[in-house]
Each structure stands twice: as structure tokens, then as C-alpha cells.
């Protein structure tokens, strides 16, 4: 699996967009990018995934660069409840396990 690099922590003001970067420079053509988050003491929560194209759902948007070496998760209007650790994961199709790194600890402040 391709290795990912994320900043250790980030801050964001409530109501503003939170942009969480992820570097996956060794990603190969059939590897997807997945994002999960873990709110304190809870189980992780699936957010979004993508391969090449940008993706959007009710929770977030995922922007993947054309060369696929990096991506950004965007929470358009961060709330205090978005405070969590965000994990960027890449995987090869048809493999089975999620490999969680250390993630980015996002703190949303009032």
C-alpha cells in the first residue's frame, strides 16, 4: 500500500472551510484514496473516497491532483463537532485491510 503523509494537527475557525492535505506521492494507478475520521473515544467514521476524479457528498469534498500524488479533504463549513482525527488511507483494489496512519488532529474553535 502507498504511504501517506499528513500534518500532525490543524486548527480551523467554526464556519470556515477546513482543508486537510494528504501526500501520497507513491500512489499507483489502481489505488484509491479513502478518508475516515475518529471523534474522540468513538469508532472511526467513513467520510469519502476517490480514484481520479473529485468527489463530493453530504459530508465533504475530495480534491485529487491530476498526478494523484496528493489530495485534499474539504469540510466546507466546519463546526465544533468536526473536531476529530482525520485519516487519509490509500489502498489497492480488492485488498482487505484499512491501514490507519497517525492522521491529522483537526481542532475547530469558536
Partner 1 sequence: NAGVMQNPRHLVRRRGQEARLRCSPMKGHSHVYWYRQLPEEGLKFMVYLQKENIIDESGMPKERFSAEFPKEGPSILRIQQVVRGDSAAYFCASSLRDRIYEQYFGPGTRLTVT
Alpha carbons 22 and 47: distance in angstroms, whole number: 15
Residue 55 interacting with partner 1 (CB under 8 A) = no
Beta pairing partners, 74: 19, 61
**Residue that is written with C-alpha cell 492522521 in the block:** 103
Alpha carbons 61 and 56: distance in angstroms, whole number: 4
Stretch that binds partner 1, among 11-19, 54-62, 72-80, 100-108 (CB under 8 A): 100-108
Q: 20-39: which residues touch partner 1 (CB under 8 A)?
A: 32, 34, 38
Residue 96 interacting with partner 1 (CB under 8 A) = yes
Judged by the rule CB under 8 A, the positions of this chain that interact with partner 1 are 32, 34, 38, 41-46, 49, 87, 91, 96-103
Amino acid at each position: 500500500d502507498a504511504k501517506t503523509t499528513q500534518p500532525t494537527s490543524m486548527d480551523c475557525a467554526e464556519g470556515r472551510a477546513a482543508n486537510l492535505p494528504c501526500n501520497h506521492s507513491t500512489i499507483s494507478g489502481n489505488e484509491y484514496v479513502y478518508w475516515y475520521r475518529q471523534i474522540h473515544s468513538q469508532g472511526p467514521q467513513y467520510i469519502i473516497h476517490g480514484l481520479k476524479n473529485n468527489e463530493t457528498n453530504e459530508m465533504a469534498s475530495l480534491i485529487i491532483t491530476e498526478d494523484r500524488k496528493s489530495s485534499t479533504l474539504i469540510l466546507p463549513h466546519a463546526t465544533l463537532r468536526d473536531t476529530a482525527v482525520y485519516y487519509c488511507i490509500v489502498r489497492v483494489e480488492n485488498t482487505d485491510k484499512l491501514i490507519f496512519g497517525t492522521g491529522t488532529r483537526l481542532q475547530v474553535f469558536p
